[in-house]
Structures are given as structure tokens and as C-alpha cells.
Structure 1
Amino acid sequence: MSKDPPLAKLIQRYINGDSRACEQLLSYREYRQRVIRIAHKQTRGHTISWEDAAQTAHEKVFQALKKRDFCPERGDFLPWAGTVAKFAIIDLMRKEKQKYCRSLDEHIPGTDILLSDTVADDFNLSDVVERTHLVFQVKKAIAALDQQYPKRGYLLMWQGKVQGKTYTQVAAELGITQSAVSKRWKELTARIADKFGLLPDGDNKPEDKGKQGQKNRQTRSNLNW
């Protein structure tokens, strides 16, 4: 059973340009386990996979080694590498979030409405952003639902909601009754919640009349006009 070469020698060989030392460092058990553990912890509840995070961490650690940022006199390699890995992953998630936020400046397909302008406070979408970064997909889903059910007026209702319009105003624009607007709004919120798993009974579709009342009660606390 082969033993790993001494860590200090591996590091020095890598700094000196030995490509095999890079492979051996990557497979060094304690280092690999530390990076994987950090990647799992930092990406929990995030859309970035731990594998991608670990890959980024490895790259940053080896870049820092190449630049001779690691000084053995100041401490052990593994804690140092863990710190570099952690901040590399944090930086990766920060950049991903910035990229995501910039996407909110895009328009909903086929409209002149900015995605950021359609975020309703009482939908708790800010919480969704923090948990899953799904706001952009939710906004696109609204546009898709509007195209799929063009006679339901989903996009117009959502736009009216954001603009602070009343049921009466939206009903007048759609040429339907206030009760119909209320019913369609519940349909829209249930479809979105079902699509993105925001309800406990995620397998139940809005068309399932037997479960509709329960779904409406579950969404009412977060989605009230």
C-alpha cells in the first residue's frame, strides 16, 4: 500500500514546476477531504454545486502556491489551503449573485417590463433569492404561463399587482369580474408555487380541484393582493 509523499516535498516540487506533484497534491487525502468538506458547507442551499465550488477552490489554492503565497514558517499548509478554498468559494458565490442580479435588468420576453420591476414584496421573493436564486426563473415562468394560457391574463394581473392596482381596476382592464380576477390570481400563484416546489404538496397541480382549497390556504400568507 503506497503512502503519500511528504506534503512539504510535494508542495516544493509543484512550485518548481513538477506537473506530477500537482496531481499528487490533488489526490492527497487530507487536503482533498478538507476542500470537499468546505465546498459542501459553503454551497449548502445554493444553486452552485459543491463540485464546481471545489474545482474553483483547487484552482485558487494552486494559483496561490505558484505565486509562493504559502509560507511554511507561518503555519501548516492544510489550514492555509482551507482558508484560501473557503474565500475562493465565497467569492465565486458573490460573483454568481452579482451576475444573477444583473439579469434582473433584462426585460420579460415580449414586453417592455423589467424583471426587477415585477418583484412583489409580499411574494417574499427576496427570501427566494437568498435561498435558491429563482427570481429570474419565476419571472420567465410568468411570461411562459401567459403565453400558454393567453386568455387568463396572467402577465397583466402580475403587472397590475406590481403597480398597486386593485381587483376592480384589473377586472376592468381584462373585462371580467373581480371574483374572476381573484380566482385567476390564485391560479397563477398556485402554478408558480407548484412549478418551483414552494408548497408542501408540490405534486398537486392547480387543476386538481380537490386540493385547490388547501393550496390556496397555504399560499394566502405569502401571496395576498
Structure 2
Amino acid sequence: MTENRARRIAVVSAGLSKPSSTRMLADRIADSTVARLEEQGFDVTVDTFELRDTAQDVTNNMLTGFPSPKLEDVIEKVTTADGLIVVTPVFTTSYNGLFKSFFDVIDNQALVDMPVVIGATAGTARHSLVLDYALRPLFTYLHSVVTPTGVFAASADWGDSGDKVKTLHDRVERAAGELSALVAVSTRSTEVRDPFALDASFSPTGAYVID
């Protein structure tokens, strides 16, 4: 049987401004991951989503329980990817509300075994622990495979030179190497998953149980 050499990476950026340092960081991780996989002979496709473009759709989904066609397409592409890169700005010491709301409307079994790199941006390095006390627990709960290296970027990391810039580059390269290794052996593209499958909150009689 011919080995499948095609891989697809989904990128989710929760930045609210344009241009966005959150999107810049997501793109850097994606570019490095793609380069690593292409070196191994993989044909890589990247789907990038800025959540600001689906903010109203996410809110409506939370209120009605049903995604719009636009949001449904985003969810389908994210949950069926071979690997996932997620980056959020830090709001009030955690991921922003749009980021959390997007992953709240995805079925909690849809990201099982998904290789994930987590990333965050903020004004100062004081917020760097957000990766381990907020983002990592979220994707651990979703049973994703989170890379050991997360990538945090403070405003000072985007300078023109210096050790901080080099350190950010090193973190991006390390995380990309870890993600590419997981994606290279991923079998998600050959599995059939339903991102809108009913979960345990639906009773056998069809009545919806609300917490």
C-alpha cells in the first residue's frame, strides 16, 4: 500500500487586531513546521483561521447550538487536520474569550490525539506561564497531544536583533520540530471523525440536558 505523504496543518489565531503579533507568531510556527515536513518529503497544506472573522458565528453557535455554514467549515477543517497550531493573546492572565468560545463549540471528542503546538502573545514576559496553567490544561482535557515546547512571545521578542529575538526563533524551531515529528506519523487523515457528533449531554431519549 502506498504511504500517504499528504499532511494538512490547521492554524488558529485569536488575535483581534490587524496586523496582529498573534498571527505573526502563528505564521512563524506554521512556516517552520511546513519546512520540516517538506524536508521529509511530505506535501503540506496549511489552513489558517483568524477567529475575529468568525466571532459573530461563534457567539450565535453558543446561543443557538447550531453553527453557521461558515463556522461549520472552519470547525471541520480544524478537527480533521493532521496537526494544529493555536495562538492567543493574553487577556486578564489567560487566553481571550473568543479563543475559549471557539473551542467550547467544538465537540470535546473532536480533537482526541490531535498533535498541537500552543502559543501566546502579551506585552511582557510576566505572562509566559499562561502556556502551562491555561492553554496546556485545556488541550490536555480535550485529549490532544500537546508538544513539550510551547511558544510565548512578548513585545520585546519582536525587536530587530539581540538575544531575545534569537531565543524566540529557537523556541519556534524547537516547537516546529516536535510538531512535525508528530504530524509525520499521524493517522488522523485516514480516520473518520464527526466534529458535530452528539456527546454525553444528550440523553438516550433525545432530551438535551443543560448544566
TM-score band w.r.t. shorter chain = under 0.3
Structure showing greater relative contact order (alpha-carbon pairs closer than 8 Å, 6 or more residues apart):
2
Structure number, greater radius of gyration: 1
Q: Which has the higher strand share?
A: 2
Q: Which has the higher helix share?
A: 1
TM-score, normalised relative to structure 1: 0.22
TM-score, normalised relative to structure 2: 0.23
